[in-house]
Amino acid sequence: MNMTATTTAPTRGRTDTATVHPLGWGRFLFGLGSRWFLGFCGSLLVMALVPLAMGGKAYLIPSGSMRPSIAPGDLVIGSPVPKDQPLNIGLVVVADDANHPGRTKLHRIVNVMSDGSYITQGDANHTSDAQSVQPSAIHAVSRLRIPFIGLPEMWLQQGEMLKLLALALAFVISIIGAIAGSESETPADDDNDQAGEPGDPCGPGGPGDGDPDDLSGDNQFGTLRWATFGGAMAAIAVTAAAIALPCNAASAAFSARVTDGPNTWTTAVAFQPYAAAVRADNPSIYWLLDETTGTSAADFSGNGKNGTYTPAYTMNQADGLATNAGTAVLLGAAGRIVCNTSVANPTALTLEMWFKTNTTTGGKLIGFESTTGATSPTSDRLVYMRNNGRIVYGGWGANTVITTPAAKVYNDNVWHHLVVTATGASGGTQTSSIYIDGALTISGTTTATTNYTGFWRVGSGTIGTGGTFPTSATFAGTVDHIAVYTTVLTSTRIAAHYAAR
């Protein structure tokens, strides 16, 4: 069925008739969209090439550690690091990756250490990087983010050929559409006009005969075509400007403040100075206990030693570290967290945790056992609280222990930082110390340990009976930031951990 529209215009005493085809508009809009796509891609390419021509260096982002600020496939332009000039917290830098020699990482500076090194962190990462970065290891300060343009290179590196083919096809179709759209004179179809007939754009006196007063036919739609093309280019320019403008103020565009600017990088998680201090000492296990659901305690040491929660426990409890965003876990009857990975005969060690309780039945805080069950045939390296709130290390086998002084008890329903260090060969006695809230409270000789492979646990487990042992093997209290080290931390580092709370 033909759809015709008849228009009558007083053009030199003539009536023009034209047939309008919907496909004409489709081709017109397809051509417009094709030009926009090609122009947008071209503007991104120009935005990348201009800074490079001015001495910048491009870095492809292959991972999501800086989401939501920077996505995989984005290209970051960096400028050289100013000589002998300290870098501010909040800047995003390209630095050597200590965990992967020969590779670099792009992370944000979240703290400056007293020795001049920097603590960095990915915006999407829950904690800061384990090792500080020396100034000499920083290659560039990031100045400009260009979205999407690195995707083809990333797909090529990852062997995702289908995505590359799809992109190539999109370019081919867009080029065809742009060419076809440029050949389309008008959304209206003029094919029904015959030369010499009324309305013939080529006929004498017809539209398009060069009469400057003629606003129909080619003149009208040629003007429309150029106006549309100009509008599309303006839209592309506005889009490019919206992306590029924030880079003019580098210190603001790449700071830790929150902004909606499309080229501004914001910090996704708050910097945790306590977590940074712990990770700087290379723990073997580090559970933040920030989970709100599930049964797994994530290990943030980088060693993959996750733990498993066993009831009763309550997650998402308020923690006691004012400058460290996170939560804690309340342990109930038989509640415990047991490491999924076994450890062979730990000798020199440091045990670290935060706790809060008002229990009068004591309980096991942390220890080492031969199984992951409720109790084990072999257990030692035990830290527990007595019924009166004093802290004890030792007591397995022979009753050789060290106990915090009676002048201070710790079942006062206040958060406390607990660290126990121990050295000594397997089969011999240990030299051990207990630190509370950053300060040494007691040192001495403790019970000999047994050579076996076992599992670290927090909370309910095997414990002695009678004497100074507590009434309960379960610690009824809240715990947080559990760390186990295969080295003995110095008193200076222990005090630094506490100060970072």
Indicate whether 375 and 228 sit together in one domain. Answer: no
Which residue is associated with the tokens 């009068």? 360
Question: Cα 32 to chain center, whole Å?
Answer: 38
Query: Are 335 and 484 found together in one domain?
Result: yes
Q: Classify strands 336-339 and 453-459 as parallel, antiparallel or unpaired.
A: antiparallel
Residue with tokens 């830098």: 93
Q: Is residue 381 part of a domain?
A: yes
**Pairwise pLDDT comparison (273 vs 137), residue with the higher score:** 137
Residues 446 and 365 in one domain: yes
Maximum average pLDDT range among 122-136, 188-202, 270-284, 481-495 = 481-495
| Domain boundaries, position 478 | 274-499
Q: Is the pLDDT reported for residue 2 higher than 70?
A: no
Q: Kindly report the pTM of this predicted structure.
A: 0.58
- Ramachandran angles phi, psi of 113, nearest 5°: -85, 165
| Same-domain status, 414 and 364 | yes
Q: What is the pLDDT of residue 114?
A: 65
pLDDT, one tens digit per residue, over 325-363 is: 789 999 999 999 999 999 999 989 999 999 999 999 999
Contacts of residue 21, defined as CB under 8 A and 6 or more positions apart, other chains included, come to 188, 189
DSSP 8-state secondary structure symbol assigned to residue 11 = B
Residue 29 backbone phi and psi in degrees, to 5: -70, -35
Contact yes or no for 132/113 (Cβ under 8 A): yes
Question: Which residues does 497 contact at the CB level (< 8 Å), separation at least 6?
Answer: 274, 277, 278, 281, 352, 417, 419, 438, 489
Q: Supply the pLDDT for residue 25.
A: 75
Reduced to 3 states (helix: H, G, I; strand: E, B; else coil), residue 416 is strand
Domain end residue (candidates: 239, 271, 303): 271
Question: Is 340 exposed, middle or buried, given 0-12, 13-18 or 19+ CB atoms closer than 10 A?
Answer: middle
Which of 271, 305, 335 terminates a domain? The answer is 271
Q: Identify the helix (H) or strand (E) that includes residue 238.
A: helix 217-244
343 lies in the same domain as 267: no
Residues 244 and 278 in one domain: no
* pLDDT given at position 8: 45
Beta carbons of 35 and 24 less than 8 angstroms apart: no
Residue 135 located in a structural domain: yes
In a domain, 4, yes or no: no
Do 264 and 282 share a domain, yes or no? no
Look at residue 41 and tell me if it is in a domain: yes
List of long-range contacts for 213-222, beta carbons under 8 Å, 24+ apart: 214/11, 216/9, 216/11, 216/16, 217/190, 218/185, 218/186, 220/186, 221/185, 221/186, 221/187, 221/188, 222/185
Domain limit, last residue, from 218, 250, 271 = 271
pLDDT, position 176: 83
Same domain membership, residue 139 and residue 103: yes
The answer to the question of residue 10 being in a domain is: no
What value does the mean pLDDT of the chain take? 77
d(CA 76, CA 73): 10
What pLDDT does residue 391 have? 97
Q: Are residues 422 and 299 in the same domain?
A: yes
Contact predicate 142/38, CB 8 Å: no
Q: Mark whether 96 and 185 lie in a shared domain.
A: yes
Alpha-carbon 142 to chain mean position: 17
Specify the CATH number for the domain of residue 466.
Answer: 2.60.120.200
Whether residue 279 is found in the same domain as residue 320? yes
Q: What's the confidence (pLDDT) of residue 493?
A: 94
Q: What is the mean pLDDT of residues 445-451?
A: 87
Q: Encode burial over 55-65: b for 16+ CB neighbours within 10 A, e otherwise.
A: ebebbbbeeeb
Q: Is 251 in a helix, a strand, or coil?
A: helix
Whether 11 is in a domain gets the answer no
* Contact in structure between 251 and 85 (CB atoms under 8 Å): no
Q: Name the token pair of 433.
A: 């110390």
CA-nearest of 42, 86, 140, 490 to 281 is 490
Whether 440 and 364 have beta carbons less than 8 Å apart is answered as no
pLDDT digits (tens, 9 = 90+) for 213-260: 443 444 544 544 554 455 455 444 444 443 443 332 222 223 332 222
| Separation between Cα atoms, residue 471 and residue 394, nearest integer Å | 17
Is residue 134 assigned to a domain? yes
The answer on 292 and 238 residing in a single domain is no
Q: List 434's β-bridge partners, or say none.
A: 420, 442
476 within a domain of the structure (yes/no): yes
Q: How far apart are CA 364 and CA 459, in angstroms?
A: 5
**Number of domains forming the structure of the chain:** 2
CATH code at 187? Answer: 2.10.109.10
The pLDDT score that the predictor gives to residue 305 is 94
174-215 tens-digit pLDDT: 888 877 766 554 455 444 444 444 444 444 444 444 444 443
Residues 93-130: tens digit of each pLDDT: 988 887 778 888 888 887 777 677 888 888 777 777 76
Asked whether the CA dihedral 485, 488, 489, 494 is positive or negative, the reply is: positive
How many Å apart are CA 64 and CA 77, to the nearest integer? Answer: 17
